[in-house]
Amino acid sequence: MTSPDLSPDLSHEFAAYIAACTYDDLTPDAVDRAKKSIFDLLGCILAAGGTVPAISGVMEMARENGGEPTCSVLGYGDRLPPLMAAFANGSMAHCLDFDDVAPDGNHASSSLIPAVFAAAEHKGGVSGKRIITAVAIGQDIFLRLRRSLNAQRLDWLTTTVLGIFSATAGVSYVLGLDAKQTANALGIAALSSCGTLEIRFGTGSDLGEFYAGFLAKNAVLSATLAQKGVTGLQRVFEGQAGIMNVYFNGDYSRERALAGLGKEFKGGEMQYKPYPVCGIANTYIYATLELLREHNIAAEDIVELRAFVGDFQQRMSKPLDERRAPQMAMDARFSMPFCLAVAAAHGAVKVEHFTEEGLRDPKTLDMAQRVLPVDDSAFDWTGEMPEAKIEIDLKSGKTVVGTSAGQTPGTRANPMGWPELIEKFRDCAQFAAKPVAAEAIERVIALSQALESLDDGTEITRLLT
């Protein structure tokens, strides 16, 4: 446990960096990933709005809590106050589990980007460069906090416990807070640092879909209160009862959190998803699809499909009967048997496979009965998300074996570039709750790639309202 008197709290170290950072300080990779993350998330939000039933309740509540209509809600045509716009867009951002992911897991952007855009649109006249910088800072802070932890934990949901601070960092930058105000904003955000992996391991809840909305709203709230002079915890991370000591038993590395601060931007490592499912299933889906392609396997040829799963993936596989026939879309996205059944039955894994109709698809449900997870500690999640091994028994009597072999789209070895993200965006946009004009889609594609040139970066979100 770190002594509360040895050095400034991490929050003050981060605050000084956040307040002083400029666009010119960013590395090319950090700029590139921030722009791609923004563009990628806009598409994910649009697709969620038109396909996730629970969003109707979110929108009803957000509209009932009206105020000055200054901020856009993507795909709905609404304009709401910043807190409610951040909540609505944030609630849609992670609904499909299609948003970006760090190489070692967790989602930095689904709470950060909706909060940044709500704050920027409310403030007005925030340049594309400033929005890019805010997102790059938030991604960096998230990964520094996440990677400061010395152990992979399966209790707290680090995306929510730590994500509130990275989102608050991004909003603080957009609002132009000084270092003292930013430290206060991080200290205020402590009241929103919570959430356990029961959101993932449990079933039957909508919270796994829209938890990012809570963080986005509270990030805007925390930074705005600090801007108005409210003080927060001064030792929010390293105090006697700070986040690192209470939530993580003091088992973290301060040095790792601060190494290269302001010079190395961890967000340059962000990765994008080819499939709308829990990230750790992506390698398994890819290995399955490659086996089907390589051996020209049709769904009716498959007798049994075995997936070799480590510790985290086992939680996506049990109880087996329940995972084979999930009742809710987020449970399906977190079900290894269902995700692989979609791949094997349809030769693709797309947004439409996880709609209410997709959950009842007889081809998928029949195939799920043929998917068998096999416990194998060789595939435990100990660093970056693990590779995959798949075996398929065929009616011919032959067994074929395949692995992801480090080639899954969106990973470090096979990154998704602008062409792939544009295709994904167009596919997502077709599911928007309110149809988006083709001209607006093409305009957003062009402006997102040139975001740094915009005097007002929120032009791209207004086009999608």
Q: What is the mean pLDDT of residues 312-331?
A: 94
Residues facing 306 on adjacent strands: 372, 391
Domain identity same for 303 and 440? no
Do 156 and 174 lie in one domain? The reply is yes
Listing DSSP states for 143-161 in one string gives HHHHHHBSS--SSB-HHHH
Residue 50 lies in a domain: yes
Q: What is the 3-state secondary structure (H, E, C) of 277-327?
A: CCHHHHHHHHHHHHHHHHHCCCHHHEEEEEEEECHHHHCCCCCHHHHHCCC
Task: Specify if 130 maps to a domain.
Answer: yes
Whether the Cβ atoms of residue 384 and residue 104 lie closer than 8 Å to each other: yes
> How many CA atoms lie less than 13 Å away from 248 in the CB half-sphere?
26
Are 243 and 323 found together in one domain?
no
Residue 208 clears pLDDT 90, i.e. is over it:
no
Residue 231 contacts by C-beta under 8 Å, 6 or more apart in sequence? 184, 187, 188
Considering the entire predicted model, what is its pTM? 0.95
In which residue are the tokens 């007889």 written?
362
Are residues 206 and 76 in contact, defined by beta-carbon separation less than 8 angstroms? no
Q: What is the mean pLDDT of the chain?
A: 95
Q: 154 φ, ψ to 5°? A: -125, 40
* Boundary-marking domain end, from 358, 388, 403: 403
Beta bridge partners of 149: 252
pLDDT digits (tens, 9 = 90+) for 388-400: 999 999 999 999 9
Q: Are residues 91 and 178 in the same domain?
A: yes
Query: What Cα–Cα distance (Å) separates residue 34 from each residue in 43, 143, 271, 296?
Result: 15, 14, 11, 39
389-394 and 302-309 strand pairing: antiparallel
Would the pLDDT of 6 be above 70?
Answer: no
Position with higher pLDDT, 104 vs 117: 117
Say how many CA atoms lie within 13 Å of 346 toward its Cβ.
Answer: 21
**CATH number, position 251:** 1.10.4100.10
Same domain flag for 57 and 195: yes
How are the residues of the chain apportioned to helix, strand and coil, as percentages rounded to the nearest 5? 55, 10, 35
Identify the CATH number of the domain in which residue 343 sits.
Answer: 3.30.1330.120
Element at 211 (helix H, strand E): helix 207-227
The verdict on 327 and 398 lying in the same domain is yes
Report whether pLDDT(2) > 60: no
Amino acid at 379: F
**The token pair that represents 106 in the structure block:** 């967790």
Identify the pLDDT of residue 37. 98
Is residue 257 domain-shared with residue 321, that is, in the same domain? Answer: no
| 201 or 304, higher pLDDT | 304
Please classify residue 413 by burial: count the beta carbons closer than 10 Å to its beta carbon, then call 0-12 exposed, 13-18 middle and 19+ buried.
exposed
402 membership: H or E segment, kind and range: strand 399-403
Confirm whether 3 is domain-assigned: no
Q: Report the C-alpha gap between 248 and 228 in whole angstroms.
A: 31
Q: Is residue 425 part of a domain?
A: no
| In the predicted structure, residue 5 carries a pLDDT above the cut 60 | no
Q: What is the pLDDT of residues 69-85, one digit of tens each?
A: 999 999 999 999 999 99
Q: Within this chain, do residues 67 and 84 fall inside the same structural domain, yes or no?
A: yes
Find residue 304's DSSP bridge partners. 393
The total number of structural domains in the chain stands at: 2
Q: Residue 320: name the closest of 282, 268, 370, 248 by CA.
A: 370
- Give the DSSP per-residue string, 152-186: --SSB-HHHHHHHHHHHHHHHHHHT--HHHHHHHH
> What integer pLDDT is reported at residue 33 of this predicted model?
98
Whose CA is closest to 308, among 290, 324, 330, 287? 287
Task: Quote the pLDDT of residue 18.
Answer: 98
Note whether 16 and 73 are same-domain residues: yes
Q: Do residue 262 and residue 189 come from a single domain?
A: yes
In a domain, 422, yes or no: no
Cα separations (Å) of 453 from 25, 122, 130, 131, 148?
17, 20, 11, 11, 35
* 3 state SS of 52: coil
Structure tokens at 227: 């801007």
Residues 250 and 307 reside in one and the same domain: no
Q: For residue 163, give the amino acid letter.
A: G
Q: Residue 285 has what pLDDT? A: 98
Q: Residue 167: inside a domain, yes or no?
A: yes
Q: Which residues span the domain enclosing 123? A: 10-272+430-462
**What 3-state class would DSSP assign to 8?**
coil
269: pLDDT confidence band, cut at 50, 70 and 90?
very high
Would the pLDDT of 456 be above 70? yes
Is 133 part of any domain?
yes
**Do the domain assignments include residue 120?**
yes
Q: CA 121 to CA 25: how far, in whole Å?
A: 24
Tokens of 92: 């849609």
Tell me, yes or no, whether 268 and 285 share the same domain. no
